[in-house]
Amino acid sequence: MALFGFAPAAIKPTALVLNVLVSAVVSLRFYRAGYFSRHLFWPLALASVPAALLGGCITLPARMFNDLLGALLLVGAFPFVFNRKSVENSVSPPRLPLALLAGGGVGLLSGLTGVGGGVLITPLLLHCRWAHAKPAAAVSAVFILVNSVSALIGHLSVARSLPSGLPLYACAAILGGALGSQLGSTHLSASAIHRLLGTVLLIAGLKLLLA
């Protein structure tokens, strides 16, 4: 949406709704596969959900929104663009105060921008060695789901409306997700997927910051 010049007022609610749709499916798949960790998730969510609700109630000025979202996209891009081969080192969950601080900060940013928090929480879980790759992905998916729902509730309490083209965007996201999962599972390597995603995030972030 940033690449195609969507207005900030449309990006946030649209992104939140699409986050809910996609992350619900992903969360269910990871949960059934046994990768979801309740012990890692709940301290993060305890602070992030109310923070996302608060962020969803706040509508930033267009320039501030673009700068904040652009910066977050750049932060999310670097781990994918410059990813290295992962090593399964030992991991341990964060202490409760640190988890609350991390969850609250990411939740607030999620509510303000509509990103859901996935571009921040996943690199954080991996970089701080709080989780291995698949549990991190599972926790991130549920994290995105609950924070997007919370932020969407906050947004609707203030705006009381959603973009008119949302059903079309939802269908496009579902079709794109089906196509992407097929390409990712059969044709593209994990490294190629990471670099492709990182490149899109990088270009979108720069476009917002330089607009």
Most confident of 5-14, 79-88, 102-111, 156-165: 102-111
- Percent of the chain at pLDDT above 90? 31
Are the C-beta atoms of 6 and 210 separated by less than 8 Å?
Answer: no
Structure tokens at 193: 């997927």
pLDDT at 86 (0 to 100) = 52
Comparing 41 with 27, the larger pLDDT belongs to: 41
What tens digit of pLDDT does each residue of 94-139 get? 999 999 999 999 999 999 998 878 778 888 888 888 988 788 888 9
For residue 152, the model assigns a pLDDT of: 92
What is the structure's pLDDT at 190? 61
**Residue 81: pLDDT band by 50, 70, 90 thresholds?**
confident
Flag whether pLDDT at 87 surpasses 70: no
User: Dihedral (C-alpha) 141, 146, 148, 151: value to the nearest 10 degrees?
Assistant: -160
Residues 157-183, mean pLDDT to the nearest whole number = 80
For residue 78, pLDDT over 60 is answered with yes
Mean pLDDT of 144-152: 94
Please report, for the chain, the start and end positions of each structural domain, with discontinuous segments joined by +.
Answer: 8-210
pLDDT on residue 184 = 57
Residue type, 145: L
**Top-confidence residue, 204 or 87:** 204
Q: Do 108 and 90 contact (CB within 8 A), yes or no?
A: no
Q: List, for residues 28-60, the tens digit of each pLDDT value.
A: 888 888 889 999 999 999 999 999 999 999 988
**What is this structure's pTM?**
0.82
Compute the chain's Rg from CA coordinates. 16
- What's the confidence (pLDDT) of residue 107? 94
Dihedral over Cα of 203, 208, 209, 211: its sign: positive
| End-to-end CA gap in the chain | 14
pLDDT of residue 182: 65
Nearest Cα neighbor of 41 from 134, 141, 110, 111 is 141
Average pLDDT in the 74-85 region?
A: 74
- Residue 151: the pLDDT is 93
Contact 50, 150 (CB under 8 A): yes
